[in-house]
Structures are given as structure tokens and as C-alpha cells.
RNA sequence: CGGGGCGUAGCGCAGUCUGGUUAGCGCGCCUGGUUCGGGACCAGGAGGUCGGAGGUUCGAAUCCUCUCGCCCCGACCA
């Protein structure tokens, strides 16, 4: 550690890479496009898993595991699907020293293998719904990769559910979307726009794709989670039918949904600063680091006091004690700031005298002396306020960087000069969407659920757009 | 795949143009001591066949040819 982080103002891309490398969240691997997730980064993922997994289970989902390898023929069953993924798949052609009869795809996602199994498991409406999630790795052979944001192999969860009606599938899709929103906003302290994807942006093979979209500090949008209503497309491809109450045989309705280690990237790009990573309290695996400060003469009293405080904290928070002898306090401050631990507690001789500790917030560096009598309640308070303020700050940023435009020239200028979200009218045609993408690189990030009904004219063709505005942005 | 940058100690780099002692510097690491409220200091020490292969030469990190890999920026994508 101990290297300098490039300031955001100097080079945003470098800053991001520095953050990940210096904060020891991840490291480059010997395999191009892949990364090693180091303990600091994996701790964030573990917390994400923990929180989301609980939310999934609370809503009736169960975990399972499906194989990494998918027969080539499976991939080809769903036409749109294979079209969407074929170019970015890794394919195993040899095994056991021999050429395989049928090549095996390394899963880019598991719809096909899962639906081949669901075919075996589903006979009657009584077998439905199936609400399965899996935590797994997937591989997509991307042209260009970036730590956490886009790597060849990444970790994610993919939920795959089966239902007897379209409405139920739609309900499931939206239920999950709400879980994602809640997780992003309440745990990651990252405000998101919830909405539906345009036809061009939706998942290959889906009826509807919904997503949560977040705005990063550099004004680019990032898709943080997606939930798809797949309709009967996969059931038809894999011939998955069930007999309904009335005796009729129908194809099953499906959903799939996922978030990935990309969320870690989103977290960094939302809250990180020039000193390093900032992790919101509710997501931090280590919430507090205690740093004793002593001189030779004060060593014993400081350590006694520190140990007492530390034990008390341990019962209520996840806390680490940094009593390493070989580093000075300032060095430790810098190091822990790089890693993003939400609170630092400094304990020096003066604090011992006053029977207090110094609590320092990572996000704004504010220092609060806290008497040890009220230690736990005050720290709980500080953590709660910090969580709220981090969210509010991010929300203020999002609002300040959301612009409206009814004029294409102006739209381009905003994109060029400021970036951010742009709310604009769109007629709904793929042509106009495509034109904007080609000319500006901005895409329709989402058609928000929450939008004013407002008549307007398409930015490109001028045709009526009566439902309201959609959100454009350049995206990660 | 196009454009740019780069491979020399664990990390960051200098040396390469103009070939010539034992390949340097900073950080980190090890040992000992003094330190400790925002990246401590002193002393001593370990560590590199210069990405790889071939060639030119009395002599190559340095020149030539080939090759491998990485990072950044663009086209594709979560």
C-alpha cells in the first residue's frame, strides 16, 4: 500500500484503477481480462451476498447450483439468446486429452441449462412456482475489461423462476427489482432510477427487462441490476409445459434476474474519494478500526483503556484493533482511509485522561469526542447518520447532474460538457434511439417508472411523445 | 481489431538516443536503536543473468530481427 492515489480531477480512469489496486480490493491476474479479488474486495462482496441472500430467502427463494458447462446444442435452442451471446462465449473443445463430441460453452448465464432441468421437474401447476437462485461465476469474453466493472470472469447471482401465469412472472420480476432498489439505496447508499429498458437495450430473449440505473461521479450511468420477464420464450425453446387447474397444457412463464461484482465498481464510483474507498456503514464488513496512540510513558494506560473500549465495541460492532508497533498513527490513518472503513476511533493519552475516544468519520473526516459511558449509543447514532448522509450526498449529486432537454443540439452540448442523466422525449422508435446512440454514444438507460405524464416531441423526429421523458446517458 | 504507452529488485522508475568497470535511485522488506495526536528518523543489510528467442560485436539493458505479455483510449457488452 502506501502509494499515492491519482486525484479524480487529474485522471478519473487512473483514479479508479488506483483505488482498486492501492486499496487492495483486486489485482490483475496472469490471465488477460481476469482479476483476483483480494480479501478487501471480497469482504464487500460477502456482505452484498449476505444481505441480498437474506432478502431473496425472505421472499421465498432458495439457492441451488447448476453446472459451469453448457452443451453447445442448448445454447442454440433459443435463437435470440444465442445471437445475443455467441460472440462473447468461451468454448471448451477438449477434455481428458481428447476432442469432445460436442463442445461445451462456459456459461455466460444459465438460462439454457436451468430450463433444460426445469423441463424434468415441472409437470403440473402444483410444481409452480419454482423460485431458484444461484451464486456463481460466469464468463463473457469481453473486448475491453475493467476491474470489477467488466471482467472476463465475474461473480454474480442469477435467479431463475418459473410461474404459471404471465402476471405472476411479471410480479416476480418487479418484486426482485424492488429488492435491488432497496439494496442499492439502503445498503450501498447509492440512489438509483428504477425503470424499464427499451427494446434495443433489453436482454436477448426477454419480454421485458427492468433495471436499476445509477449515476457515477464522472457523469456516466451504470446499470447496477437487471430483472427480466422472459415470458414463455425459454419454455417454448425447451418445451417446458405444465397442466393447469383446468386441465389445459401450457408453457411456463419465466423470469431471470441478477447482480454481479460490478456492484463493487458501482460502490467505488459512487462514494470513493481522493483518499480511497468509502464504504457505507451498513455494507462494511469492518465498521470500525481502533487506533491507539501512545508514547513510551503512556503506553500502558493507553493500551489498558483501548482494550477496555475494544471489548465493549466488539459486542455491538464489527471492529478491528490496529496496535501494530511499527507504524505511526498517521500512517495507519491513511492506510485505513484507503480501505474505506467507515469509522476510525483514535485513543491517545489525552482521551484516556478525559475518559473518552475520538470518533472520525471516513466520508467527511468529521471528528467527534465520545465519552465511554455513551460509547455504543453514540456510535450507533454516528453510523446511522453517516449512512443517511452518504445517500443524501449521492442523491444530491444525481439530481444536480440530471438535466432536461428538448433540443437535440442542446442535448449534445450537455452530454459533451456535463454528462449525467438527460431527460428527454422519445417517440419510441428504434431508429431514433439508434441515431442518438450512433451520433452521441448516449443510450436510453431507462424508461423510469416514476415520471411525469407530459406531452412532448421526440428529440430526433419530432413525433409525439405523450407518456413522458426517458433517461439518456453515456454508460459504463 | 484500430490508436497510444510500457516491460530493468516486491512496487515505482533512471540508465537505452551515443554499446565499455561490479546495472543505479526512491519506496517497501530484514536487523538494531530512537520515535509515535495525519504517511517518523538514524545505522547496517538482503534482493535484479534488464519480458523471451535469435543475431551483430572483442564486448549488448543499450544496436538489428522476430516473439510474448500488460496497461490506457476507441468500436462490443452486465
Give which of A233, A234, A252, A235 is closest to A243, Cα–Cα. A252
Give which of A313, A296, A263 is closest to A149, Cα–Cα. A263
In this structure, are A117 and A16 located in the same domain?
yes
3-class DSSP assignment, residue A180: helix
- A468 CA, B9 C1': separation in Å? 62
Domain around A59 = 12-271
On average, the pLDDT of chain A sits at 93
CATH classification at residue A459: 3.30.110.30
Task: Give the helix ranges, DSSP H, for A183-241.
Answer: 233-237
In this structure, are A263 and A328 located in the same domain?
no
CATH classification at residue A252: 3.30.930.10
Question: If you average pLDDT over residues A263-283, what whole number do you get?
Answer: 95
Last residue of a domain, one of A223, A242, A271: A271
CATH classification at residue A308: 3.40.50.800
Using pLDDT thresholds of 50, 70 and 90, give the confidence band for residue A470. very high
Contacts of A304 by beta carbon, 8 Å cutoff, 6+ apart: none
Per-residue confidence (pLDDT) for residue A3, from 0 to 100: 57
In this structure, are A319 and A266 located in the same domain?
no
Does A1 score more than 60 pLDDT? no
Lowest mean pLDDT among A204-208, A241-245, A340-344, A444-448: A204-208
Give which of A1, A12, A44 is closest to A337, Cα–Cα. A1
In this structure, are A220 and A73 located in the same domain?
yes
Cell of A167: 402476471
Q: Which nucleotide comes closest to A350 if you measure CA to C1'?
A: B37
Handedness of CA A440, A446, A447, A451 (dihedral sign): negative
Last residue of a domain, one of A218, A246, A271: A271
Q: In whole angstroms, what is the distance from residue A107 CA to residue A99 CA? A: 19
- A28 CA, B18 C1': separation in Å? 38
Q: Which nucleotides of B are covered by protein (CB under 7 A)?
A: 1, 11, 27-30, 35-40, 69-78
Q: In whole angstroms, what is the distance from residue A348 CA to residue A331 CA? A: 15
Q: Which nucleotide comes closest to A265 if you measure CA to C1'?
A: B78
- Per the structure, the count of domains in chain A is 3
Q: Is residue A158 part of a domain?
A: yes
Render the burial of A165-201: b for 16+ CB within 10 Å, e for the rest. eeebbbebbbbbbbbbbebbbebbbbbbbbbbbbeeb
Q: Which nucleotide comes closest to A367 if you measure CA to C1'?
A: B37
- A143 CA, B1 C1': separation in Å? 9
- A105 CA, B10 C1': separation in Å? 38
In this structure, are A249 and A338 located in the same domain?
no
Lowest mean pLDDT among A8-12, A114-118, A147-151, A334-338: A8-12
- A75 CA, B52 C1': separation in Å? 40
Q: Is residue A264 part of a domain?
A: yes
In this structure, are A117 and A264 located in the same domain?
yes
In this structure, are A218 and A159 located in the same domain?
yes
Q: Is residue A3 part of a domain?
A: no
Q: Is residue A395 part of a domain?
A: no
Q: Is residue A26 part of a domain?
A: yes
- A300 CA, B45 C1': separation in Å? 33
Q: Which nucleotide comes closest to A201 if you measure CA to C1'?
A: B77
Q: Is residue A43 part of a domain?
A: yes
Q: Which nucleotide comes closest to A262 if you measure CA to C1'?
A: B78
Q: What is the ipTM of this complex?
A: 0.84
Q: Which nucleotide comes closest to A151 if you measure CA to C1'?
A: B78
Q: What does the pLDDT look like over A394-409, one tens digit per residue?
A: 999 999 999 999 999 9
In this structure, are A267 and A292 located in the same domain?
no
In this structure, are A240 and A324 located in the same domain?
no
Q: Is residue A279 part of a domain?
A: no
* Integer Rg of chain A from CA: 25
In this structure, are A86 and A231 located in the same domain?
yes
- A29 CA, B23 C1': separation in Å? 29
Last residue of a domain, one of A354, A384, A414: A384
Q: Is residue A365 part of a domain?
A: yes
In this structure, are A248 and A314 located in the same domain?
no
In this structure, are A243 and A354 located in the same domain?
no
Question: What separation, in Å, do the N-terminal and C-terminal C-alpha atoms of chain A show?
Answer: 27
DSSP state of A146: B
Per-residue confidence (pLDDT) for residue A428, from 0 to 100: 92
| Most confident among A140-154, A352-366, A446-460 (mean pLDDT) | A352-366
Amino acid at each position: 500500500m502506501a502509494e499515492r492515489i491519482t486525484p479524480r480531477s487529474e485522471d478519473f480512469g487512473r483514479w479508479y484503477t488506483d483505488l482498486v489496486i492501492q486499496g487492495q480490493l483486486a489485482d490483475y491476474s496472469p490471465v488477460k481480462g481476469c482479476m483476483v479479488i483480494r480479501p478487501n474486495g471480497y469482504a464487500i462482496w460477502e456482505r452484498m451476498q449476505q444481505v441480498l441472500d437474506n432478502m431473496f430467502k425472505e421472499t421465498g427463494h432458495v439457492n441451488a447450483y447448476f453446472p459451469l458447462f453448457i452443451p453447445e446444442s442448448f445454447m442454440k435452442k433459443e435463437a435470440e439468446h444465442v445471437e445475443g451471446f455467441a460472440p462473447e462465449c468461451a468454448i471448451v473443445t477438449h477434455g481428458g486429452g481428447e476432442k469432445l463430441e460436442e463442445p461445451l460453452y462456459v456459461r455466460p448465464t444459465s438460462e439454457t441449462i436451468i430450463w433444460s432441468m426445469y423441463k424434468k421437474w415441472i409437470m403440473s401447476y402444483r410444481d409452480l412456482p419454482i423460485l431458484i437462485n444461484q451464486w456463481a461465476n460466469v464468463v463473457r469474453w469481453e473486448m475491453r475489461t475493467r476491474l470489477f466493472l467488466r471482467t472476463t470472469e465475474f461473480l454474480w447471482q442469477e435467479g431463475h423462476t418459473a410461474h404459471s401465469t404471465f402476471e405472476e412472472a411479471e410480479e416476480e420480476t418487479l418484486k426482485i427489482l424492488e429488492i435491488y432498489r432497496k439494496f442499492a439505496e439502503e445498503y450501498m447508499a447509492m440512489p438509483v432510477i428504477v425503470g424499464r429498458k427499451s427494446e434495443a437495450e433489453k436482454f436477448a430473449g426477454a419480454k421485458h427487462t427492468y433495471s436499476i440505473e445509477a449515476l457515477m461521479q464522472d457523469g456516466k450511468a451504470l446499470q447496477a441490476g437487471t430483472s427480466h420477464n422472459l415470458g414463455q420464450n425459454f419454455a417454448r425453446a425447451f418445451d417446458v409445459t405444465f397442466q393447469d387447474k383446468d386441465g389445459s397444457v401450457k408453457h411456463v412463464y419465466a423470469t431471470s434476474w441478477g447482480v454481479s461484482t460490478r456492484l463493487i465498481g458501482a460502490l467505488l464510483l459512487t462514494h470513493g474519494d481522493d483518499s480511497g474507498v468509502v464504504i457505507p456503514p451498513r455494507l462494511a464488513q469492518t465498521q470500525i478500526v481502533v487506533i491507539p496512540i501512545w508514547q513510551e510513558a503512556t503506553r500502558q494506560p493507553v493500551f489498558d483503556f483501548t482494550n477496555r473500549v475494544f471489548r465493549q465495541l466488539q459486542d455491538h460492532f464489527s471492529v478491528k484493533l490496529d496496535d501494530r508497533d511499527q507504524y505511526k498513527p498517521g500512517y495507519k490513518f491513511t492506510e485505513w482511509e484507503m480501505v474505506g472503513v467507515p469509522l476510525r476511533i483514535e485513543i491517545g493519552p489525552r482521551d484516556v485522561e478525559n475518559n473518552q475516544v475520538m470518533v472520525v468519520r471516513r466520508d467527511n473526516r468529521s471528528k467527534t469526542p465520545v465519552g465511554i459511558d455513551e460509547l455504543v449509543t453514540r456510535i450507533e447514532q454516528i453510523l446511522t447518520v453517516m449512512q443517511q448522509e452518504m445517500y443524501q450526498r449521492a442523491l444530491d449529486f444525481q439530481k444536480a447532474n440530471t438535466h432536461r432537454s428538448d433540443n437535440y443540439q442542446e442535448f449534445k452540448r450537455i452530454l459533451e460538457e456535463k454528462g449525467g442523466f438527460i431527460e428527454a422525449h422519445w417517440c419510441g422508435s428504434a431508429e431514433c434511439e439508434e441515431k442518438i446512440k450512433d451520433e452521441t454514444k448516449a443510450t436510453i438507460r431507462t424508461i423510469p417508472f416514476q415520471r411525469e405524464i407530459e406531452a412532448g416531441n421526440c428529440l430526433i423526429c419530432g413525433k409525439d411523445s405523450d407518456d413522458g421523458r426517458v433517461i439518456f446517458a453515456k454508460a459504463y
